[in-house]
Amino acid sequence: MDGIKVLIVVTLIGIVASLGKALFHMSSGRSTQVGHSAMMVRALSVRIGLSVALFILLMIAWYLGAISPHSVQ
């Protein structure tokens, strides 16, 4: 597996982990506290940042020819 593909998979795992962390803070019983809301917002902000980074990484990899799209047959 190429290094770029490993980096894509690691980024996807990071996105899912960030979503899981936000879900944990959202579903905790003491969600009225300011600390839990701040931690949930931070986790979701990390997810947005990772998603944007993944999109840019995919565009750069496609431009450089490291990955290529294929048609469904």
pLDDT tens for each residue of 22-50:
888 888 766 566 777 788 888 889 999 99
The whole-number pLDDT of residue 54 equals 94
Q: Where are the domains of the chain?
A: 3-64
The two structure tokens encoding residue 40: 């949930």
Mean of the per-residue pLDDT values of the chain: 85
For range 44-63, the mean pLDDT: 93
Any idea of the CA torsion for 45, 47, 52, 58, to the nearest 10 degrees? 170
Please state which of the ranges 12-16, 20-24, 68-72 shows the lowest mean pLDDT. Answer: 68-72
d(CA 30, CA 9): 33
b/e sequence 43-69, b meaning 16+ C-beta within 10 Å? bbebbeebeeebeebeeebeeeeebee
